[in-house]
Amino acid sequence: MSDARILDRGYRRYEGRRSGVTGAVRSVAWHTARSILGIGRSGRHKVFPIIVLVIAFLPALGFLALTILIGDLLQGELRPDYWEMFGFSFFPTLLFTALVTPEAIVRDRSNGMFPIYLSTPLTRPTYLVAKVIAVLGTMAIIVLGPPLLALIGYTFQNLGPDGLANWVWVLVRLLGAGLVIAGLYTSVSMAAASLTRRRAFASVAVILLLLGLSIATNLLVETADANTNLLLLDPLGLPLGMAPRVFGETGDEYTGVSTLAMASACAGWITGGAVVVAARYRKLAAV
C-alpha cells in the first residue's frame, strides 16, 4: 500500500497583496516586452531583436566616435541635426515594426492565451492597453535611443545645445518627434496584426501597408505631378517628415504641406489604427 496521506483539505484564501487591474496591466506589458525582445526565450528569438538594435545604434555610435576623435571639426554640415538621427534608424525601425512587434498580439491568439487573460481582472480594453505599452515601449528604444545617445554624446563634448533651457527644449522636441514616429508605427503594426492569427501574414500585411502606400503616393507626386498633400497618406514617411517640423525645419519631401495638416494626418493614422484594433478585439470570442 502507498504511504501517501492527506494532511489538509479544502481551499485557503489568498492573503497576499492584490494589485488589481493596474498590476495585471503592468505584468502583461512587462512580459510582452520581454517576449518581443527575446528575453527569457530560446536563443533564436534573441537574434533578430539584437541585430535590429545594433543596426539602429550604429550610426549614432559612429557619430559619437567621430565627435570624440575630431571634436570641434564635426560641426556645421558634417554633423547631422538631431532630427536627422531618426532617419538613420529608419531601416531597423521598419524591420522591428514589420517582423517583431506583430508577435505581441498574434501569439496570444494563436496559442489560446487571449481567453485566459480575460479570465483575470483584465478586460479587452485593459489587455490592449498593456499590449500598446509593451509595443510602444520597445519600439521607443529603437526610435529614441540613437538621437538621445547623440544628444548626450555631443553634450559631453561641449557640442550640445547652449544652456540648460536650450538643452531641455531639444530633449523635449526629441521625445515629441520620437513618440509620434513610434506611436504611428505601433498603431499601424497592431492594426494589421489584429486581422490575422499568423505572425508571417501579419508581417506581410504591415510591409504591404507601409511600403505599398509609401511607394504609391510618392510615385503619384513625383511622376504624375499629383498634389503634394497626397503624401499625407504615406504612413511610412509621414512621421519621419514630421520630425523636422517639430524642430522648426521644413524638410525636403513635404515642402508645400502645412505642419497642421501633417500633425492632423499623424493623429488620423494613430486613431485609425486604434479603431481597427478595438473593433477587431470587440468581436473576438473570449472562449
In this predicted structure, what is the pLDDT of residue 151?
87
In this predicted structure, what is the pLDDT of residue 4?
65
- Contacts for 164-172: CB closer than 8 Å, 24+ residues apart: 170/82
The per-residue pLDDT string of the chain (287 residues; one tens digit each, 9 = 90 and over) reads 566 665 566 666 656 666 678 888 888 889 888 888 888 777 777 888 888 888 888 888 887 777 777 765 555 556 677 888 888 888 888 888 888 888 888 888 888 888 888 888 888 899 999 999 999 999 999 999 888 888 888 888 777 788 889 899 999 999 999 999 999 999 998 998 888 888 788 888 888 888 888 899 988 888 877 888 888 998 998 999 898 898 888 766 788 888 899 999 999 999 999 999 999 888 776 55
pTM: 0.85
In this predicted structure, what is the pLDDT of residue 1?
52
Are residues 97 and 141 in contact, defined by beta-carbon separation less than 8 angstroms? no
In this predicted structure, what is the pLDDT of residue 71?
60
Are residues 105 and 202 in contact, defined by beta-carbon separation less than 8 angstroms? no
- Residue 116 Cα distances to 18, 123, 196, 283, angstroms: 19, 11, 19, 16
| Among 207, 179, 178, CA closest to 193 | 207
Are residues 82 and 170 in contact, defined by beta-carbon separation less than 8 angstroms? yes
CB-neighbour burial class of residue 14 (10 A; exposed 0-12, middle 13-18, buried 19+): exposed
